[in-house]
Structure 1
């Protein structure tokens, strides 16, 4: 709820804009505007006008006066996305506004004062950019009064299924699907994938998978997303699996094997390994795999996994 400047750091696609929106909505400025400006898409010759506005006739093509993003955000919050892409010449002018609150419209001599909270975001390492002389150190310190780092999706695997379910609900409404669900095999696949494109990639994967599942199951009352609908890079899944387990080994796969067959092979070995580690206890194994016990036993039965118990004389 403070007026501190916030710098949001994180890879592309992790949801930095969502973080900025929530900061604004929980601040004292929530009833005032949140203005968005993508610094990466700014032509250098028009950047000053975008930030501070221009007077009529200030330059060729300026047929009407226009307010800049700082004037539009007065009293509210200005979100500067991809701040690491801002040209050095513009960085010094932005610093002046942050220090004094003074804005000078292009083509006018009069100074105006604005009350704007700035939230900036970048996928660059700004400390490294400062060391390389590509970003002003004084601007970096002015922006990063309260830095926030958003972890990549691969470091938040507990969020994957939650987010996938949310995107599935959104997609179901768009595609007029009454009921859309993710199979257990698909959930396991999603959790083991590395997600280089983060949350944005997950959303696109679910959108495409839902469309394919609807096409293949259009006569079914419940549409189920299966692994073959997800179009994930299997080598990335296999690599991640090997990183997480020094015992699980993915066997050589035939060139013409389907994604579903390969996923079943991996899932089967993972369940068997976890059963052994948990002394063939289904409940403990289900907890380690973060799935429901009943769902796990049904999946194991489909994959041909069974446990035979026998008594031996003492």
Structure 2
């Protein structure tokens, strides 16, 4: 019950933070990156976790270079937002950033879409047409899901990276372009290289500066801010007076692993808000989302028996810190000071347990 109580108290604190974030969003008061608890709202990247701050700092440094950047991460982590952040912090910010979803390009049209084609290059090519590289000239070209590109197109992409030249389909002429290339993938490109599905020389050109984007489960500190952002989005979109999470719903979010990452969180909250309305909530109500509306595969349930009354002399945050310290020390004692076993007992990632212990002054 001590762990359950700790989670409930922490949820109460997070609910307060959510309400504050919602008010700030409605009033347009959220600051830009690095100035307060919500980072980089200007660039649509929300969070304050150390993992996110490290990535933002790294992006700021590499943005000033002309190096190709490869963004690595699971589906739904927001790789496109990080690419846009990189572009906006670069010297090319006043030039276009062109987005290409490589997975959506039919193999027969991929070369024409990227590099353009001349008149008569194929049936239906009635006039000359510029490609995405032309559109991005002077700016940035973002190739999302680059691992999906056909091998034939990969060879031509390599030439652009090597020589800065493109050749339109059906033309013998080479054309110089000045483009910063940023690519992203959720695939293991090294494994694709071994399997012959991706060119090794292109991989080494694209991955001059790889940046792994952490999944949401490694950014647990950002969950409340992200949830608050999506709550406010849905409140505004649906015309609601107020949209909030019940403390038990907040616990459910905290207890879920988020395999679909931020995109899944967005969809879960959007679906729950619509369900609440379909089940009779009025737009003039203060709509409270209960855990059953979230429809998550696994949830953390509140204790069935009443929690003991505790009257801490300090504030709620200090009380939560004390409970967390006690839980960590108990787990370490039970597992002979083995941090990995203690992390499993506490249902935490080992790296997150070390970070939490450092924050609490236990290391």
TM-score range, shorter chain: 0.7 to 0.9
Q: Distance in 2 between matches of 1:272 and 1:38?
A: 51
2:288 counterpart residue number: 224
- TM-score, with structure 2 as normaliser: 0.66
Partner secondary structure for residue 303 of structure 2: helix
Q: What is the correspondence of 1:189-228 to structure 2 with a 5 Å cutoff?
A: 189-215=252-278, 216-218=280-282, 221-228=285-292
Q: Distance in 2 between matches of 1:131 and 1:171?
A: 45
Matched residues, number: 258
Moved over 4 A (4+): 269-273, 281-285
Q: CA deviation at 1:86?
A: 1.0
Q: 1:151 aligns with which of 214, 221, 235?
A: 214
| RMSD after superposition | 2.6
Q: CA deviation at 1:96?
A: 0.5
Q: 1:286 aligns with which of 320, 327, 338?
A: 320
1:268 is the counterpart of 2:331: no
Q: Deviations over 1:179-207 (max 9, x none)?
A: 21112111111011111111111100110
Q: 1:124 aligns with which of 184, 187, 190?
A: 187
Partner secondary structure for residue 141 of structure 2: strand
Q: What is the correspondence of 1:291-302 to structure 2 with a 5 Å cutoff?
A: none
1:82 counterpart residue number: 145
- TM-score, with structure 1 as normaliser: 0.76
Q: CA deviation at 1:288?
A: 6.7
Report which structure shows greater RCO (CA 8 Å, sep ≥6).
Answer: 2
Partner secondary structure for residue 99 of structure 2: strand
- In 2 relative to 1, CA 289–47 (structure 1 residues): closer, same or farther, beyond 3 Å? farther
Q: Distance in 1 between matches of 2:210 and 2:94?
A: 24
Q: Which moved more, 1:216-225 or 1:54-63?
A: 216-225
1:8 counterpart residue number: 71
The answer for unaligned runs of 5 or more in structure 1 is 238-262, 291-314
- In 2 relative to 1, CA 289–63 (structure 1 residues): closer, same or farther, beyond 3 Å? farther
Q: Is the 8 A contact 2:223 2:254 kept in 1?
A: yes
Q: Distance in 1 between matches of 2:93 and 2:302?
A: 47
Q: Distance in 1 between matches of 2:217 and 2:165?
A: 42
2:297 counterpart residue number: 233
> Which structure has the larger Rg over C-alpha atoms?
1
Q: 2:136 aligns with which of 73, 84, 108?
A: 73
Q: CA deviation at 1:30?
A: 0.7
